[in-house]
Amino acid sequence: MSTHLLLINPNTSPEVTADVAESARRVVSPGTVVTAVNPEHGPAVIDGAYDKALATYGLVEEMQRAEREEDYDAYVIACFGDPGLDAAKELTDKPVVGIAEAAIMVSAFLGARFSIVSTLPRAQERLRRLAELNGAGARLASVRTTDLGVLAFHEDPEGTLDVLEAAGAEAIREDGAEVLVLGCAGMTGLAGRLSERLGVPVVDPVEAASRVAESLVALRYSTSKANTYQAPTEKVYR
Amino acid sequence: MSTHLLLINPNTSPEVTADVAESARRVVSPGTVVTAVNPEHGPAVIDGAYDKALATYGLVEEMQRAEREEDYDAYVIACFGDPGLDAAKELTDKPVVGIAEAAIMVSAFLGARFSIVSTLPRAQERLRRLAELNGAGARLASVRTTDLGVLAFHEDPEGTLDVLEAAGAEAIREDGAEVLVLGCAGMTGLAGRLSERLGVPVVDPVEAASRVAESLVALRYSTSKANTYQAPTEKVYR
Amino acid sequence: MSTHLLLINPNTSPEVTADVAESARRVVSPGTVVTAVNPEHGPAVIDGAYDKALATYGLVEEMQRAEREEDYDAYVIACFGDPGLDAAKELTDKPVVGIAEAAIMVSAFLGARFSIVSTLPRAQERLRRLAELNGAGARLASVRTTDLGVLAFHEDPEGTLDVLEAAGAEAIREDGAEVLVLGCAGMTGLAGRLSERLGVPVVDPVEAASRVAESLVALRYSTSKANTYQAPTEKVYR
Amino acid sequence: MSTHLLLINPNTSPEVTADVAESARRVVSPGTVVTAVNPEHGPAVIDGAYDKALATYGLVEEMQRAEREEDYDAYVIACFGDPGLDAAKELTDKPVVGIAEAAIMVSAFLGARFSIVSTLPRAQERLRRLAELNGAGARLASVRTTDLGVLAFHEDPEGTLDVLEAAGAEAIREDGAEVLVLGCAGMTGLAGRLSERLGVPVVDPVEAASRVAESLVALRYSTSKANTYQAPTEKVYR
Amino acid sequence: MSTHLLLINPNTSPEVTADVAESARRVVSPGTVVTAVNPEHGPAVIDGAYDKALATYGLVEEMQRAEREEDYDAYVIACFGDPGLDAAKELTDKPVVGIAEAAIMVSAFLGARFSIVSTLPRAQERLRRLAELNGAGARLASVRTTDLGVLAFHEDPEGTLDVLEAAGAEAIREDGAEVLVLGCAGMTGLAGRLSERLGVPVVDPVEAASRVAESLVALRYSTSKANTYQAPTEKVYR
Amino acid sequence: MSTHLLLINPNTSPEVTADVAESARRVVSPGTVVTAVNPEHGPAVIDGAYDKALATYGLVEEMQRAEREEDYDAYVIACFGDPGLDAAKELTDKPVVGIAEAAIMVSAFLGARFSIVSTLPRAQERLRRLAELNGAGARLASVRTTDLGVLAFHEDPEGTLDVLEAAGAEAIREDGAEVLVLGCAGMTGLAGRLSERLGVPVVDPVEAASRVAESLVALRYSTSKANTYQAPTEKVYR
């Protein structure tokens, strides 16, 4: 019996949705089917808290539609910032995996310290807090940001690979990073080549999360309904 | 020249909006004008992450409308969970104050350890994280929850005062709380009487935040645009 | 091309070795082959630091033999205490996964707080430190110990299931656990039935680690040789 | 009914006492009266633990005299180091506010990370601990010290403004500070101009604390006598 | 060449001064000479922050007199709260040891978790912070307080031994303490008998600190003057 | 009655064993006798986790032989990494002191921040974790590594003193270290001269631990058998 994953890209750029689907399909087991969607409305890219707020709204709508109309085995939230992750866990008892939490966890198996390589400088503090929230504050060597936007990776993979290589090399040399984590869903697909250039493991968060989600299904684990992630209580929605 | 505060109640219950406005007016200086609004759409109460996601959407819309059409001096987000606080700070350079962050900060001046008394048990872990996020993990004696919903306080103030008194007394006796923080905007207006009954300071988060917001204006402080809370970058919103 | 995992049970009880192999085979993908071994010399069970020291010696010998003579794709250290994990990572560039680190990580996807249910009371402080070391200190609701030894689970599964149920129920009710982690390799195989009885996800560390190890291979990640886990330097061994 | 604040400058430099009074009066509400005093005996400036010990003695004497002879509504301890803050809270049930705790708290509303700009290098570790003690360790970008003494600010405001600007600019550019906190009561009055030069909010601790103290009175909060800050027990004082 | 230690009891009770001298002499090496003093003025016992402030003043005077007039090799501050420890370190380059820091450090060698057994409940939060400040937050099992004052131990050793035994037994059974630390200088001399009754090591802070101070002299270590503990800068003292 | 200490050097280099014995004898009291041993088998030096695993095996054998055949009063584990410390504490109720834990603790009495100066860069992360595990994370200014192996110090003391001086000077100037800790047993004997050159206290871990062990005996403290360090349970060792 095949496993069916739904990747929800919370931004509204279909090219990113296509990219994350391709990445997921590259790493899952033969029997696993991957579907990827994005909300109709919301920001084309998510690079701040305002965008995250809007995108979360679209994401929960997609979650609700999926729960109502389909029968997915697990969900992946495909934005490095894990927007709406807690809300999504309330809406289902299937496993839900954020790509940031997955990538940060996976990095722990590969080396003693890691750096996140991401987009704009304004994300630095948020990514530090995200690492802290996921219990990785002591392992975080640094957050290295570039000046590239989310879509740059899709539009110019070669150029951005060079930029990522430069940022990653600094993280290794100056900050003591032993593993790199790509801090943006839009960077998906570049980890293998970046790893070859830099000589350290590079975690692609979309790939890592897809494989984690598939594994949670295989392990027959569900989202606990014991307390924090109970279904929303009955109330009026206006 | 008078100071004008906007309180945004992110839930859609006008009675809560009225209550928080009344509380704010009770504590601000004579020259300060208080307006309170709530979104038209969204949950009537917010007691989980799904509700918070929906409410945040309504909240940022209210923030944008206010920034576009009015000239407020500061904003207060009137839900103990500070939904959309980071997003709101991106949308303005005026001070923005969450009632949870304000209440948690204010409690530090009054005693060495505090407890949050709140609504449903499912909120426990989230409130602990909120305290931790606001740097108060070491001061937090406990989170004590009741089985009352957000609107119970409005509907039956006397009965809920008794429930809060019981929970607060346990926090003081068993957890070592020296100060209590009311962990729900809906509880506003009860702090004075609860404090009299229990003999310790009880922080009303709506009152505390309103007074903090007014003070930030008087001190001429603004939201820093240096990095994390920069205005959203230009992008397509579909 | 199939993936080949080696599970090393660091204790010298062949029945535990057989149990962990069976668990791993139950959860891996069809193409994955599982081999399980244990050292010839060392303690029959590991329930303290002295035993861990002896078992680590046997474990690194098994690792070295495997690296020299075989071509495994990844290694799993099948003792909840992760003995020799750092040493093993120095000896290979293949992924190495400890069952405790894997179970603790996996629990993060399933609920907000978890408890470890384990063997003797003397392990309490060590398991707390292990959770802390793996970045899960803030998520750890409690360590609940029973008075059962490591082999009890193999000898009397029904009786020990009752004991685990009692300990787990206390963790849920009194400590706020939303997920349980079985804190001993010897408990493997009981998670499914325990989860049914208690109504929360129960993580079997052997199953979780096996699936994680397989996934790291599928993701083409290796152990970083950048710094901490470099191969041992040249030196005299007497 | 007017609010009456007492600012206690724990050093014995009347020019600093005059400066802090002027700052407080600049920011409080029209109805609030500010009195400022300093001990007769003790160090002219406080730049180490020995001075702090002596100044604390003078400070508690001033607190006791004020409690005995006057009827202040709240107290502000006007030295960035909060000497005697715990002792003062034992001596009254009126609110007592340290200028460091107030400034550190207020900075949280304005940006994600802050730096303290202070006097001599020897204060670095103490200010780091002070931030940590006030729950702001994770938000602290850096402590930047100059080589200027406490009285330099009073004697040469223009020259010291240049020094502070240089230190602040480094904190913003190299350490990621989004908000600055002036780490010395003697620097009071310079925040507005420094903020204009640097483009980020600059918190004047005397102003912030005065406004916080006034607000605590308006909110009718008192110092909790539940445990830690009980009045001193009866005993012999020789 | 003999080593000469000065114990400064910061309270003004000569019977406590005599007791701490006796304890120190019981544990130091044959060649070590112990002198004990107390300030002439100040509180007879120290059980709060106000008393600590007054006692610190007396303590620094004693330190200054000792540095000026005598040639001690090291100093011990004999009050569990380490009043004036930082100030004292500024006043000398000889080693200075607080009895709380010494006892907390020494407890680390003896067991994995410790509890402090102390005097009044109001000290609980302060002792927790003291453990945290000394890096022992993770090892601290609990602070157990009795209702006995500082001088009770001197006046009725048998009765208080029973009270301490009861509190210690609870710490062991309910909090998981493996080592106890006596949290008051006045309790000195009771550790041996308490340890026999309870079956775990009990650290006498006066004994531990005296032996640590003597060892620092033997090791030829001094107080670093590199930064934090530099001598006070030149200034006017009024 | 004389005190008898056993120093166990876990590596198999007799010249290091001789060096640590000499250091211990230099600092203990006249009546204290020092014996030093090393395992027959194992790595000549320990500079990684694999070596540590092998050395721990040899160390516990030496501990068992000593407990069975001799009557030592306390044990010192003479490798900066404290291999087998927990195992050793299970095997005896005499005090057991690791040289890293002792040096880190002792450094707290001497200055506010310390740096560890050690051997190869690969040790950096492990030494940071060791400091954290010993409660010194907040005091750790930095880990400074050189490119010298463990035996370099024995073979060329003058040359390595220069290298240590350079690393130490950087730690003081750039990282704010006020105290240095020598992070390798092989460096023993150099602290005094290094301290003279650099002007800050330099802690020799072998000397510090030997003196601490002797003091624990004088204080009549034992290793707690209450929980974590109980003797190994009965079981089969194959």
Chain B residue numbers with beta carbons less than 8 Å from the beta carbon of D208 are 219
Q: What is the pLDDT of residue E1?
A: 65
Mean pLDDT of C99-121: 97
Q: Tell me: the pLDDT tens digits for F89-98?
A: 999 999 999 9
With 0-12 / 13-18 / 19 or more C-beta atoms within 10 angstroms meaning exposed / middle / buried, residue A177 is buried
Nearest to B238 among A12, A121, A235 (CB): A12
Chain F residue numbers with beta carbons less than 8 Å from the beta carbon of C230 are 48, 122
Mean pLDDT of C2-28: 97
Q: What is the pLDDT of residue F148?
A: 82
Find which of A122, A124, A125 to mutate to test the D interface (most D CBs within 10 Å of its CB). A125
Are residues C138 and B132, on separate chains, in Cβ contact within 8 Å? yes
Chain C residue numbers with beta carbons less than 8 Å from the beta carbon of B132 are 138
3-state SS class at E32: strand
Q: What percent of chain D has pLDDT over 70?
A: 100
Residue D150 above 80 pLDDT? Answer: no
Dihedrals phi, psi of D11, to nearest 5 degrees: -90, 175
Find which of A221, A225, A229 to mutate to test the C interface (most C CBs within 10 Å of its CB). A221
Q: What is the pLDDT of residue D153?
A: 77
Nearest chain F residue to D137 by CA: give it.
F138
**Helix residue spans in C72-184 (DSSP H):** 85-90, 99-108, 124-133, 152-155, 157-175
Question: What token pair was written down for F84?
Answer: 């087998």
3-state secondary structure chain F: CCEEEEEECCCCCHHHHHHHHHHHHHHCCCCEEEEEECCCCCECCCCCHHHHHHHHHHHHHHHHHHHHHCCCCEEEECCCCCCCHHHHHHCCCCCEEEHHHHHHHHHCCCCCCEEEEECCHHHHHHHHHHHHHCCCCCCEEEEEECCCCCCHHHHCHHHHHHHHHHHHHHHHHHHCCCEEEECCHHHCCCHHHHHHHHCCCEECHHHHHHHHHHHHHHCCCCCCCCCCCCCCCCCCEC
Nearest chain E residue to B112 by CA: give it.
E125
Give the whole-angstrom CA distance, residue B55 versus residue B62: 11
Residue B216, min C-alpha distance to chain E (Å):
31
How large is the angle between the packed helices E205-218 and E99-107, nearest 10 degrees? 90
3-state SS class at B225: coil
Residue type, F198: L
Q: Going by beta carbons, is chain E in contact with chain C, meaning 3 or more pairs sit under 8 Å apart?
A: yes
Q: What is the pLDDT of residue A150?
A: 72
Per-position DSSP letters for E191-216, written without gaps between them: HHHHHHHHSS-EE-HHHHHHHHHHHH
Q: Within chain E, how many helices (H) and strands (E) appear? A: 9, 8
Give the whole-angstrom CA distance, residue F188 versus residue F176: 24
Question: What token pair was written down for E85?
Answer: 């420890």
Q: Does C94 touch chain A (CB under 8 A)?
A: no
Q: What is the pLDDT of residue C1?
A: 65
**Helix residue spans in chain A (DSSP H):** 14-27, 49-69, 85-90, 99-108, 124-133, 152-155, 157-175, 191-198, 205-218
Q: Does B125 touch chain C (CB under 8 A)?
A: yes
Residue from A134, A213, A149, A214 nearest A187 by CA: A149
Q: Does A223 touch chain C (CB under 8 A)?
A: yes
Q: Tell me: the pLDDT tens digits for B90-139?
A: 999 999 999 999 999 999 999 999 999 998 999 999 999 999 999 999 99
Are residues E220 and F192, on separate chains, in Cβ contact within 8 Å? yes
What's the CATH class of domain A101-205? alpha beta
Report whether E108 contacts E203 (CB < 8 A). Answer: no
Does the fold of domain A101-205 match that of domain A3-98+208-218? Answer: yes
Q: Tell me: the pLDDT tens digits for E16-25?
A: 999 999 999 9
Q: Does B173 touch chain E (CB under 8 A)?
A: no
Q: Within chain B, how many helices (H) and strands (E) appear? A: 9, 8
Q: Tell me: the pLDDT tens digits for C221-235?
A: 999 999 999 999 999
B32-37 and B3-8 as β-strands: parallel, antiparallel, unpaired? Answer: parallel
Task: Report the DSSP beta bridge partners of residue B116.
Answer: B143, B181
Length of chain D equals 238
Give the whole-angstrom CA distance, residue C183 versus residue C180: 9
pLDDT-based confidence at E151, cuts 50/70/90? confident
Domain C3-98+208-218: give its CATH architecture: 3-Layer(aba) Sandwich (3.40)
Give the whole-angstrom CA distance, residue A114 versus residue A131: 10
Q: Does D226 touch chain A (CB under 8 A)?
A: no
CB pairs under 8 A between A and C: 151
Mean pLDDT of F94-121: 97
Distance of CA F100 to the CA centre of its chain: 4
Residue F65 above 80 pLDDT? Answer: yes
Nearest chain A residue to B227 by CA: give it.
A122
DSSP C123: G
Q: Tell me: the pLDDT tens digits for D15-66?
A: 999 999 999 999 999 989 999 999 999 999 999 999 999 999 999 999 999 9
Are residues A132 and D113, on separate chains, in Cβ contact within 8 Å? no
Are residues E125 and B138, on separate chains, in Cβ contact within 8 Å? no
Chain B residue numbers with beta carbons less than 8 Å from the beta carbon of D220 are 192
Give the whole-angstrom CA distance, residue F77 versus residue F95: 11
Residue with tokens 């107290």: D75
Q: Going by beta carbons, is chain C in contact with chain D, meaning 3 or more pairs sit under 8 Å apart?
A: no
Are residues E226 and F200, on separate chains, in Cβ contact within 8 Å? yes
Q: What percent of chain C has pLDDT over 70?
A: 100
Q: What is the pLDDT of residue D1?
A: 65
Of B28-42, C63-77, D136-150, E214-228, the least confident: D136-150
Per-position DSSP letters for E93-136, written without gaps between them: SS-EEEHHHHHHHHHTTT-S-EEEEES-GGGHHHHHHHHHHTT-
Give the whole-angstrom CA distance, residue B215 versus residue B95: 10
ipTM above 0.95, yes or no: yes
Residue F200, min C-alpha distance to chain A (Å):
27
HSE-up (13 A, CA, CB side) for residue C82: 24
Are residues B120 and A57, on separate chains, in Cβ contact within 8 Å? no
Residue F1 above 70 pLDDT? Answer: no
Residue B40 above 80 pLDDT? Answer: yes
Nearest chain C residue to F50 by CA: give it.
C87
Mean pLDDT of E141-151: 88
Q: Does F124 touch chain A (CB under 8 A)?
A: yes
Give the whole-angstrom CA distance, residue E136 versus residue B226: 37
Sheet holding C96-98, edge to edge: C32-37, C3-8, C74-77, C96-98
Find which of A67, A233, A234, A237 to mutate to test the B interface (most B CBs within 10 Å of its CB). A233
C32-37 and C3-8 as β-strands: parallel, antiparallel, unpaired? Answer: parallel
Q: Tell me: the pLDDT tens digits for B170-207?
A: 999 999 999 999 999 999 999 999 999 999 999 999 99
A179-182 and A202-203 as β-strands: parallel, antiparallel, unpaired? Answer: parallel
Q: What is the pLDDT of residue B1?
A: 65
Cβ neighbours for F233, distance < 8 A, ≥ 6 positions apart: C47, C48, C120, C149
Give the whole-angstrom CA distance, residue F181 versus residue E219: 13
Of A57-61, A137-141, C70-74, C117-121, the least confident: C117-121
Nearest chain E residue to B177 by CA: give it.
E125
DSSP B142: E
pLDDT-based confidence at F226, cuts 50/70/90? very high
Residue from E57, F208, D121, C178 nearest A90 by CA: C178
The gap between the terminal CA atoms of chain C, to the nearest Å, is 41
Mean pLDDT of B1-13: 95
Chain A residue numbers with beta carbons less than 8 Å from the beta carbon of B16 are none
Interface of B with D in 43-82 (CB under 8 A): none
Give the domain ranges of chain C: 3-98+208-218, 101-205
Q: What is the pLDDT of residue A1?
A: 65
Are residues D176 and A132, on separate chains, in Cβ contact within 8 Å? no
Residue from D25, D81, D14 nearest D214 by CA: D25
pLDDT-based confidence at B68, cuts 50/70/90? very high
Residue with tokens 């150029």: A159
Residue from A84, A81, A5, A135 nearest C107 by CA: A135
Are residues F112 and D125, on separate chains, in Cβ contact within 8 Å? yes
pLDDT-based confidence at D148, cuts 50/70/90? confident
Strands (E), chain B: 3-8, 32-37, 74-77, 96-98, 114-118, 140-145, 179-182, 202-203
Task: Report the DSSP beta bridge partners of residue A142.
Answer: A115
CB pairs under 8 A between A and B: 125
Cβ neighbours for F140, distance < 8 A, ≥ 6 positions apart: F113, F114, F115, F116, F128, F131, F132
Residue with tokens 């445990």: D227
Question: Residue A77: enclosing H or E segment and its boundaries?
Answer: strand A74-77
Question: What token pair was written down for D158?
Answer: 């223009």
Residue B209 above 90 pLDDT? Answer: yes
Report whether B140 contacts B113 (CB < 8 A). Answer: yes
Find which of A56, A77, A145 to mutate to test the B interface (most B CBs within 10 Å of its CB). A56
3-state SS class at C65: helix
Give the whole-angstrom CA distance, residue B205 versus residue B85: 15
Residue D115 above 80 pLDDT? Answer: yes
Residue with tokens 């200490």: F5
pTM of the full structure: 0.97
